[in-house]
Amino acid sequence: MIAGKKVIVVMPAYNAAQTLLQTYEEADAQGIVDSFVVVDDASHDETLEIARTLPKTRAHRHPANRGYGANQKTCYRLALEGGADIVIMLHPDYQYTPKLIPAMASLIASGLYDCVLGSRILGGYALKGGMPWWRYVANRALTLFENVMTGAKLSEYHTGYRAFSRRLLEQIALETNSDDFVFDSQMLAQVLWLDYRIAEVSCPTKYFEEGSSISFAKSVTYGFGVLLVSIQYRLARMGVLKPRIFADLQARPAGAQDHD
């Protein structure tokens, strides 16, 4: 726990057998994680078997591959069922350092933020960590477009390292979002729609052969999905339309703080 709040780390996993244990051990070594949730999206390796051996871990398997977004939906549902006050999503491919868990959790526990992102862009670590140049350029271009459409000033929208408060997760209509990779952008758009503060911490990353990576073709599809979500957000703010991902959001609780 941190400041009396229960911390649960969720790991959406797919063919993560080679890196899951290392990620778990380093995350658990931070000393504040109460429990873990690993959701295996019908992997073809020993991901589930390894997850079942990990202490204080709830391992769950989708009987068929449902997609990255669907995996996260299950992760967050199980974390909330487990009584989490703070939920941190950490990819089990060891590309993001688990050593930032205390910093991210403390920002939520302080009550100042309800969402914290581990940014690969802050500090200039993305290319140094081995991010392919074409992925870096796409990241920067999409982030610029998203900031223009949403009016936010985030350094990155596409990180897989995120922390959320319980009250925020309970408000977001997760089931209205995609089961695919664009889920990430839809979820952040919903956070911004609710006017919550978002904090960013600089996160060094590393890319290596064992780490999972979205294919170029899927990256292109994801990019177009991000553009669509951004345009939908702007049109919804203008009152031209209101897509379901915004229309189905719960009312914001009294006392919630605005984002900067």
**Which pLDDT tens digit goes with each residue over 116-153?**
999 999 888 788 878 888 889 999 999 999 999 999 99
pLDDT at 41 over 50: yes
Determine what percent of the chain is predicted with pLDDT higher than 90: 80
Assigned domain for 258 exists = no
Work out the pLDDT band at 252, boundaries 50, 70, 90.
Answer: low
Eight-state DSSP code of residue 35: E
Please indicate, yes or no, if residue 255 is contained in any of the structural domains.
Answer: no
Sign, CA torsion 35/199/210/224: positive
Average pLDDT for 86-97: 95
Number of domains forming the structure of the chain: 1
Average pLDDT, the chain: 92
Residue 42, in any domain of the structure: yes
On whether residue 260 sits in a domain, the answer given is no
124 occurs within a structural domain: yes
Distances in whole angstroms, Cα of residue 173 to Cα of each of 12, 63, 160, 186, 199:
19, 24, 19, 10, 21
DSSP H or E segment with residue 106: helix 101-109
Task: Choose among 128, 104, 141: nearest CA to 207.
Answer: 128
Tell me which residue range forms the domain holding 202.
Answer: 7-247
Tokens representing residue 28 in the block: 């658990």
Is 252 a domain residue? no
Task: Assess if residue 259 is contained within a domain.
Answer: no
Q: Which has the closest alpha carbon to 68: 223, 182, 224?
A: 182
CATH number of the domain enclosing 159: 3.90.550.10
Instruction: Give pTM, 2 decimals.
Output: 0.92
Where does residue 239 fall: left (phi above 0), alpha (psi -120 to 50 degrees), or beta otherwise?
left
pLDDT of residue 259: 42
Residue 105 is assigned to a structural domain of this protein: yes
Is residue 242 within 8 Å of residue 198, measured between CB atoms?
no
Distance CA 256, CA 167 (A): 10
